[in-house]
Structure 1
Amino acid sequence: MPLLAIYPRDRLMFPDKVLTHDEDIQRHLTGLTVGLRSLAAPPVAEFEAPEAFLALLVEQHDLAVFDYAEVFHHTAPPAYAEQVDAQAQTVHRHAQPTARWLLKGGGSFCLFTAGELYYLDCAPGDLLLLPAGMPHAFLPRVGQPGSVLRLAAKVEDLTSLDSPDCSLEGFQPLD
């Protein structure tokens, strides 16, 4: 089931809103200029060349602007853990629009706005189109390693910028 929880940035223990209908989730993400679509999750080999995944996106015309990719493998938090250590996750921000494609495993993307944190639960095949400058982080699901493909138009756009005003300290993700 899709899930989008919206937390106020000054109170990350309890969400103000939880959405579970695709239409509601899409409407909120569109308001942030974030795109979300579900594609077929490709089989992932541990050392698959990132460029091989770009060929799978040729049919997606709006993704044709992304010529560079890199795969990040996230280790699984222990199955006995009560929650992911959200504070240990890196917050990324990029000067240009980028995309994130969850290739394997499960997890959630945290999207930061000035006043809110959007917690989006994702499944393999989910692809996020992120606007320039949007801070975000990926939280792997407990017990499941995850692989995320990062896409950018230029190789330098894959480099993350500092996001000193974004923190997941005290964040309590929903399961």
Structure 2
Amino acid sequence: MSSLSVYHLSSPELPNKVLTHFEDIASTLAEQGVRFDRWQAAAKIQPGASQEDMIAAYQAPIDKLMTERGYLSIDVVSFNSDDPQTAEMRAKFLDEHCHGEDAVRFFVAGRGLFSLHIDDYVYAVLCEKNDLIIVPAGTKYWFDMGEHPHFITIRLCKSPEGFEASFTGDDIASRFPLLED
């Protein structure tokens, strides 16, 4: 189940609030300029489906979002615990960073924890299958895929360079809860 835990920077061990209802998560994040939405596939996605099949299953909402926001590039990222670079990739994503344009991630399968550092708060968003999150350009965040990752996401951006991360050098992520497997 998707959730949102909101922490004040002064108390990373205890969230101020925890939300599990879609509408509450979406409205709380919208107040911070973050879009949270849910999409349903137009067709069943079979295990082992190609990237093209995954994109085709969500083509209508993808096209709508690309038109609305001017995104031009699309790709699919698939990661699981069988990957020999699991620990290295997890550590990289756990470093606080931002992007020069929106970070758009749609979860086709699996889950991941986006922790957004906005002003004096951290908004920890547990995204699962069918969740879309759009983190505005310049927002500092980190992503935890867990010790035993499994996720497939569709990413959208205006240019391939939009996927490049600028790391802040802040160790803030080490003070907040991680994704529990």
Alignment TM class, shorter chain as reference:
0.7 to 0.9
Shift of 1:12: 1.8
- Corresponding residue of 2:55: 53
The aligned amino acid for 1:61 is: K
Aligned pair in 2 of structure 1 residues 114, 142: CA closer, same or farther (>3 Å)?
same
The yes-or-no answer on 1:122 pairing with 2:127 is yes
Matched, 1:15 2:53: no
CA separation of 1:86 and 1:26: change in aligned 2, threshold 3 A: farther
Question: In structure 2, what is the Cα distance between the partners aligned to 1:157 and 1:33?
Answer: 18
Per-residue deviation, 1:33: 0.7
Change (3 A) 1:55 1:96: farther
Unaligned runs of 5+ in 2: 83-89
Aligned to 1:169: 174
Q: CA deviation at 1:91?
A: 3.4
Distance 1:159 1:49, change over 3 A: farther
- Give the aligned partner of residue 66 of structure 2: 63
Shift of 1:45: 4.1
Q: How does 1:9-158 map to 2 (within 5 A)?
A: 9-40=9-40, 43=45, 45=48, 48=51, 53=55, 56-59=58-61, 60-64=63-67, 65-76=70-81, 89-141=94-146, 143-158=148-163
Pairwise CA distance, 1:121: 1.5
The size of the alignment, in residue pairs, is 167
Offset of residue 89 of structure 1: 2.2
Tell me which protein shows more helix as a share of its residues: 2
1:144 Cα offset (Å): 4.6
| AA aligned opposite 1:63 | M
Cα distance 1:2–1:98, how it changes in 2: closer, same or farther (>3 A)?
closer
Q: In the aligned structure 1, how far is the partner of 2:92 from the partner of 2:156?
A: 24
In structure 2, the partner of 1:4 is 4
Q: Which has the higher strand share?
A: 2
Using the size of structure 2 for normalisation, the TM-score is 0.74
Alignment deviations for residues 118-147 of structure 1 (CA, whole Å, 9 cap, x no partner): 111221121112211112233225545112
How far apart are the structure 1 equivalents of 2:22 and 2:3? 8
Do 1:104 and 1:146's aligned partners in 2 also have CA atoms closer than 8 Å?
A: yes
> For the residues of structure 2 that align with 1:55 and 1:66, how far apart are their CA atoms?
18
Uncovered stretches (5+) of structure 1, i.e. residues with no partner: 78-84
Paired residues of 1:86 and 1:168 also in contact (CA < 8 A): no
